[in-house]
Structure 1
Amino acid sequence: MTLRRETFLDQVKERGKYDNPQEADRAARVVLALLGAHLVGEIRAQLAARLPEDFALILLNPLQSAEPLSPERFVKATSAWIEGATAQTAAWDVSAVLSTVADAADDDLLSEILLQLPTGYDLLFGRPQPT
């Protein structure tokens, strides 16, 4: 089921403790653009189908990444794209967005997503996996 835009942003805003929906929107756009560069094929399409249309399009037309980023480098890249962000605020942004994405995906889809990502992303999604 596709999340409504307002519902998605409200969840990101609440989790990120943002002052306004614009801050949540900016974080969501950056994180989804970076995430889209790491997912391929059917998995990316399945996740996009569960997101509001404008965010789905960002996921499907990602920033290009030469290589998969480790979780630490993913957070660092996020901070580079968000004006005024620090490593700490970027980690907060990533967590707020990816935990909302994890809720939109079911457990099976999230497992498939995590298989496409370097080790450690389970923590960014707020879904620690047993090792």
Structure 2
Amino acid sequence: MSTQSLRRTVIPAPVPRPSAPDGSGGPGTTAASVGQERQERPGKATARSRAWTRLVDAVREAGRYTTTAEAERVTRIVLSALGGHVVGDERVALAQALPPEAARVVASQIPVTRPQTAAEFVDGVAARIEGATPATARWDVSSVLSVLPELVGDDLIDRVLRELPPGYALLFGKAELVPPAAR
């Protein structure tokens, strides 16, 4: 066998098209060509974006945020904090019920080693938001968590609440029902 017959043909990997930070597709592309490219690839990605947009819009309305970007930022922060506290089957069910963008935020969190009270949870969110106070963080947390029952269903939220320490129900916009004392 000659060395020529052993030579491999190397096929270069495709070079990704540059993309500008604004999502326009980069230099040399027009908004029309990017829009056309997106229209040619409809399907789950489009539906997922709509579900995420509906979630962020609901948070924006509930929290009376002035911009969608602010509502999206708060949504990501609160869901990431929640993701560390919801574990097991409830975590899986919650991730499956949320839009994929939100599911990734929840599911990517490492579970906490010690459950936090609702007040500690709010304080933890306040630490993640620049300039937040416990009062503004409580507003942010409630703005996100209160839209989840309508999105994922009351039954799932009730299951999640049973796994969390007392005090979280109000953050989800639900009454905290205390079981009667044993006699």
Which of 143, 146, 150 is the equivalent residue of 1:103? 150
Gapped regions of structure 1 (runs ≥ 5)? none
The verdict on how the C-alpha distance between 1:63 and 1:78 changes in structure 2, with shifts beyond 3 A counting, is: farther
What CA distance in whole angstroms lies between the structure 1 residues aligned with 2:150 and 2:95?
A: 13
Describe the superposition over 1:108-128 as per-residue Cα deviations: whole angstroms up to 9, x where unpaired: 211110111000111110011
Instruction: Give the conservation status (yes or no) of the 8 Å contact 2:146–2:172.
Output: yes
What CA distance in whole angstroms lies between the structure 2 residues aligned with 1:33 and 1:116?
A: 17
Which of 116, 122, 128 is the equivalent residue of 1:69? 116
Which of 81, 90, 94 is the equivalent residue of 2:137? 90
**Alignment partner, residue 100 of structure 2:** 53
Q: Between Structure 1 and Structure 2, how many residues are aligned?
A: 130
Which of 103, 110, 116 is the equivalent residue of 2:163? 116
Give SS of 2:85's match. coil
- TM-score normalised by L of structure 2: 0.67
What CA distance in whole angstroms lies between the structure 1 residues aligned with 2:176 and 2:128?
A: 28
What's the offset of the Cα at 1:88?
A: 1.0
Paired amino acid for 2:165: P
Paired amino acid for 2:177: P
Describe the superposition over 1:71-123 as per-residue Cα deviations: whole angstroms up to 9, x where unpaired: 00111000100111111110000000001112222222111101110001111
**Alignment partner, residue 82 of structure 2:** 35
Q: Which runs of 4+ in 1 moved over 3 A?
A: none
What CA distance in whole angstroms lies between the structure 2 residues aligned with 1:56 and 1:73?
A: 23
Q: If you compute each CA radius of gyration, which structure gives the higher value, 1 or 2?
A: 2
Instruction: Give the structure, 1 or 2, with the largest relative contact order (CA under 8 Å, sep 6 or more).
Output: 1
Instruction: Give the conservation status (yes or no) of the 8 Å contact 1:34–1:63.
Output: no
What CA distance in whole angstroms lies between the structure 2 residues aligned with 1:63 and 1:10?
A: 27
Give % identity. Answer: 40
What's the offset of the Cα at 1:63?
A: 4.8
The alignment yields a C-alpha RMSD, in angstroms, of 1.5
